[in-house]
Amino acid sequence: MSRRGDDERSATVRDDTRAIIRDVRAGWARITGIGVAAIVLVSVPFARDDRRRGAGFVAAALASFLVQQILIAKALTRHHEEDPDDLDAVDALTLSRGLGASIVAAAALAGRRDRRSYAAKVAWPLALAGSTLTDWIDGPLARRRGRGPTHLGRVLDLELDSWLTLATTLAGTRLGSLDAICLITPSLRYLAMASPISYEEVHSVGKSVRARNLGITQMTLALASFAPFAGSFSTRLARAGSRLLVPIHVAALAAGLATARRREGTAGSGWL
């Protein structure tokens, strides 16, 4: 009887797993298809102006977006206990920040280096919407639908915000008035992740109030630096502010990581 019960439970687990994967694939495929279509649509004016720029934009945007979607698919197959079984419209809203970041970065790389160019006119509103509207409403919508907060949602919220900030700063250096050194600020998180420092430590620092305030400041300055309607005073102010932010951000990350390590060390010693 025990053997039969184990076999039945195993069969049930296998059936549930197949159902989860089937649902995830359906939601993932819809979101991926919409994202690819959006990239192709945005590329049309690029191609009309310059086929080479259009091809470069499509290649960069698709590569970035598809890497994001592959990572999402892998995360979903691991299926953390508190995560949903499928992807829905709220997930699409969250992932749109990653799509927007891919388009912003690709437009910055492929477009003419002019904040009044088509590239800037595409990148700026996408960066603004991703850092405000979609960032503000996806969490409350998920909670109203009984889908949050989840482990995957918390990770995506931070990672997509970080990627959008980096893409927007890149646009500021290519299309606006920011110096290349300003890319150090949004890149620090990825440098920390590439180091021996654990992801948990980097994540805890990134979710701190200090890191969030610095991120908002960096995003605001980057947006001001290549706004198509901005005046020369605004762009110069954004440039100066971003320069000042670099050493402040470096010092804040170092202090935050040191605090996180001390906290982990204290927690670990408590079990001895």
Q: Structural domain of residue 122, as residue ranges? A: 1-138
Residue 164 forms part of a structural domain: no
Say whether both 117 and 238 belong to one domain: no
d(Cα 183, Cα 173) in Å, to the nearest integer? 8
Question: In the prediction, which pLDDT does 272 show?
Answer: 29
Residues 262 and 130 in one domain: no
- pLDDT recorded at residue 218: 92
Question: pLDDT truncated to tens, each residue of the chain (272 aa)?
Answer: 455 555 666 666 566 556 555 555 788 889 999 999 999 999 999 888 888 999 999 999 999 999 999 988 887 777 666 666 667 788 888 899 999 999 999 999 999 899 999 999 999 999 999 999 888 888 788 778 776 667 777 788 888 999 999 999 999 999 999 999 999 988 988 887 877 777 777 777 777 888 888 889 999 999 999 999 988 999 999 999 999 999 998 888 888 777 766 766 655 443 22
Q: How far are the Cα atoms of 5, 80, 217 from residue 12, in angstroms, in the given order?
A: 11, 18, 50
- Kindly state whether residue 157 falls inside one of the protein's structural domains: no
Closest residue by Cα to residue 112 from 39, 200, 184, 52: 52
What is the pLDDT, as a whole number, of residue 178?
Answer: 95
Query: What is the reported pLDDT for 254?
Result: 81
What pLDDT is attached to residue 42? 94
pTM: 0.83
Residue type, 77: T
**Which residues neighbour 201 within 8 Å (Cβ) at sequence distance 6 or greater?**
257, 260, 261, 264
| Residues 5 and 120 reside in one and the same domain | yes
Q: Is residue 145 part of a domain?
A: no
Contacts of 17 (CB under 8 A, 6+ apart): none
Domain boundary among 83, 110, 138: 138
Residue 117 belongs to a domain: yes
Per the domain annotation, does 187 fall within a domain? yes
Q: Where does a domain end: 81, 115, 138? A: 138
pLDDT score for 256:
79
Give the model's pLDDT for residue 246. 92
Is the same domain home to 118 and 182? no
Asked if residue 240 and residue 187 are part of one domain, the reply reads yes
Burial class (CB in 10 A: 0-12, 13-18, 19+), 177: buried
Are 134 and 180 in a shared domain? Answer: no
Residues 193 and 134 in one domain: no
Number of domains in the chain: 2
Residue 147 lies in a domain: no
240, part of any domain: yes
Residue 161: inside a domain, yes or no? no
Give the span between the Cα atoms of 79 and 183, in whole angstroms: 34
The torsion angles phi and psi of 149, rounded to 5 degrees, stand at -75, 145
- Report the pLDDT value the prediction gives residue 209, as an integer from 0 to 100: 84
